[in-house]
Every structure is written in C-alpha cells, then in structure tokens.
Structure 1
Amino acid sequence: MIRILLAEDMHMVRGALVALLNLEHDIEVVAEVASGDEIVPAAQANAVDVAVIDIDLPGKDGLTAAAELHQRMPSCRTLILTSLNRPGTLRRALAAKVGGFILKDAPSDRLANAVRGVAAGRRVVDAELALSAWDSTDCPLTGRELEVLRLATAGANPTEIAARLFLSAGTVRNYLTTIVTKLQARNRVDAIRIAKEAGWL
C-alpha cells in the first residue's frame, strides 16, 4: 500500500482527489492538509510514502514545502500538481528534487500512475510541461535579484526589502532597476507579471 499525504487548499478539489486516489487498490490517503506549513509535520506523523502537493498553497508554497520535506524526510517522494503550464516552474520543481510534476487537469488514471511511478523512485513529468520547459528560456535574474523580486511581489517596499536582506535601500533600488531592465519590463509591476508568467517566482 502506498501511503499518501494530499496537500490542497481548495476543500472540494481535495475531497475529489482523495476519493479518486482511495479507489485505487494500492493507494491510501492517510493525511490531508490545506497549507504548506502543515506538510512536513503531517508527513512525519503519518509515515507517508508520497506527498501529492498543490503548487499554490497558503503559508509555504508547494515547492518550498517539497524542498523542506526532501531535506527532513528523504524517504518521502513528492508529486507536484499545478494548474499552470509555466516552464520556469518545472525547472524550479526539478531543482527542489521533486519526484513528479503533472497538470491538475490530467486524467485521473494519470495521477494514480504518477503516484506509483514516484513511489517507485522514478521521475514523472507531464509530457506537455516537459515540452514547454524544453522550449523555454532560462531566467536571466540572479538568485539575489529573484529574492528581491519575491519580496517586492509580497508588497514590501525597498526599505523593508533592505531590512530583510541586510542591504541598503539604495542597493535594493539598484537591484529593482536591473530587474526591470533585464526583463525588458515597463516598471516593477510589469517585471513581477513577466516573472510570474514565466514561472520564475
């Protein structure tokens, strides 16, 4: 029996996925959570084999939680669910050592087979996502620039970003100007939109 943790914040979707997975003879959902912060404690408490994680969760996002789970509980495999076909997101998922990455609107038998594949130690990636990642361009931003942009996306102003990253406000403004230039954006808001659509954030 493959023991599953399901992390999905939309109750109706989570209920449907639990019901679908529990129909399988070799899969049992033993834990359900609605936020990224609950994933690691629930996985550890329930001796989970595979964590099926929605990428967009309140608290910690799915990829951050998956990376943390990989560090804390290496025996637990992770399968990311997304409704967005963003090639940059797939690259981030692979960097976070996730075992699989599939679209939410995939047929239900594909989800069950992906769970089995990930549990067996295979890397399972939706073909459509793999093709779009193959054709995509690399993120032109450095790690620090992405960090600054993530904080700006959360609504922090340059002074607040500077305090969080132990930089001067002037340095943060320079980073933001560089980000806008590199992404060929009109302004900071446009840069955030471009980075989100590419899956870099």
Structure 2
Amino acid sequence: MPDPIRLLLVDDQILSRGLLRSGLERERDLEIVAELNRSDDVVGAAKKYRANVALLDAAGPGKDSITVTTKLRTSMPECRVVMLTTYGRPVHTRRGLDAGAKGIALKNTPAPQLADAVRRVHLGLRVVDANLAAENLRYSETPLDSDETDTLRAARDGGSIARIAQKLDVSERVVRTRLWSAIGKTGAHTRSDALQIAERNGWLLD
C-alpha cells in the first residue's frame, strides 16, 4: 500500500477544524500530520511535517491566505494548497487559483468529496467545487488545454475510452488522464458534466 497523503489543516475555528479532522481521518489513504489555528507559519509547518497537501481556510487569522499560498508555491511546491471558503465569491476563487492553489472547496463540502479533491490535487490536478466553478467560469477563459479540449470533443458521441483513443491516435491511459484533468478543471463530477459545462461556455468550438 502506498504511503498516505500527508495533510496540514489550517483553520482558526476549533469546531470547523474538528469536523474536517473527523471526516478525513476515516479515509485510510489520508493522514493528518498537523493542525494550525493561524496561517503565520504554514510554510514552516509544511516543511517540518513534510505535508503533501495543505487545507487552508481562506479567511482565517494571520497572514493573508493568498500570500501564504504564494509562499508555499515558491518555497515548497511539492505541498499543494486546497483553499477552503465559506462564501466562494468569484474574485476570491480567481485570486486563489492565480496565487497557485490547486483546489478551491467550500468549507461544508462532505468529507468523501473533499477527500477526493485532496487526492486529485495531490496528483497535480486542479479541482474547483462545481458551484464555485459555475460562478467563476463566467469570468474566465477556458481552463482546458488543447489536448483536453480535443479529448472532450472526441467524447461528444459518448463512445468508449477505447473508441476515443482510436479517434485521437493515443493510448487509453492518455485519454483517461485527459478526461480526469478536464473533469477537475471544470469542477464537474463526470465526463458528461464536463462536456455540458464546456459546451455551455463555448470551449469546444472549432
């Protein structure tokens, strides 16, 4: 069994932090290595405990979460940030992503869903809560790269992974990786959802 993903929790609210801990502790592949009630020494704690992912309260006390996220990205890029927000205003979502956060989630996200976001972020994917993404995407250009766009276009007919791979002349593994990435970037849960979001926003136009 691979090593668990090492988590750092940063939230000034004891109850909120406790709920996060109790929910995520049930996931066997996740390990909470440290908890902080301020963001002042997130970088130091991340280095000390060799954290893989930091769950950072976007509105907590201490240093501005955007500043902390930027510092983590530059001084410890192997520790990826998931920002937790209560309100999820589009401008905050965009600022977090621009600062280097790999994930944006609502604080009341169910534990299994948040755990899934942590796993994706740990793999290097970008994950934004579907509701936040729907608001944020109105203010941004396509988050998809050309390969992900081509793969979603090829998936329009609802064919199998093998059929899509044949269309694009790539391996099935490449197709799965691209689709998984597109799902994360659009804040979707399924390939069908990602297609609908991309179509609705005009990202699949030739």
* Local SS of the residue matching 1:98: coil
Partner of 2:126: 123
Partner of 2:196: none
Aligned-pair Cα RMSD in Å: 1.5
CA distance in 2, matches of 1:25, 1:2: 9
Partner of 1:44: 47
Q: Does 1:32 align with 2:20?
A: no
Alignment of 1:55-94 (within 5 A): 55-94=58-97
The C-alpha deviation readout for 1:3-47, integer Å capped at 9, x for no partner, is 000000001111111121111010000010011102111101000
The C-alpha deviation readout for 1:162-197, integer Å capped at 9, x for no partner, is xxxxxxxxxxxxxxxxxxxxxxxxxxxxxxxxxxxx
- TM-score, normalised with respect to structure 2: 0.64
* Local SS of the residue matching 1:84: coil
Residue identity in the other structure for 1:23 = R
Contact 2:39 2:63 in 1 (8 A): yes
- Runs (4 or more) in structure 1 with deviation over 6 Å come to none
* Local SS of the residue matching 1:51: strand
CA distance in 2, matches of 1:35, 1:70: 18
* Number of residues of Structure 1 aligned to a counterpart in Structure 2: 138
Residue identity in the other structure for 1:99 = K
* Local SS of the residue matching 1:52: strand
* Local SS of the residue matching 1:37: coil
Partner of 2:21: 18
How far 1:85 moved relative to its partner?
A: 2.2
The C-alpha deviation readout for 1:85-125, integer Å capped at 9, x for no partner, is 20001110111111100111222211110111101111000
Contact 2:6 2:31 in 1 (8 A): yes
- TM-score, normalised with respect to structure 1: 0.66
Partner of 1:198: none
How far 1:134 moved relative to its partner?
A: 2.1
CA distance in 1, matches of 2:109, 2:24: 14
Residue identity in the other structure for 1:121 = G
Alignment of 1:1-201 (within 5 A): 1-136=4-139
Structure 2 unaligned residues grouped into runs of 5+:
141-206
Residue identity in the other structure for 1:118 = V
CA distance in 1, matches of 2:135, 2:116: 22
Contact 2:24 2:112 in 1 (8 A): no
How far 1:61 moved relative to its partner?
A: 2.2
Structure 1 unaligned residues grouped into runs of 5+:
138-201
How far 1:64 moved relative to its partner?
A: 1.6
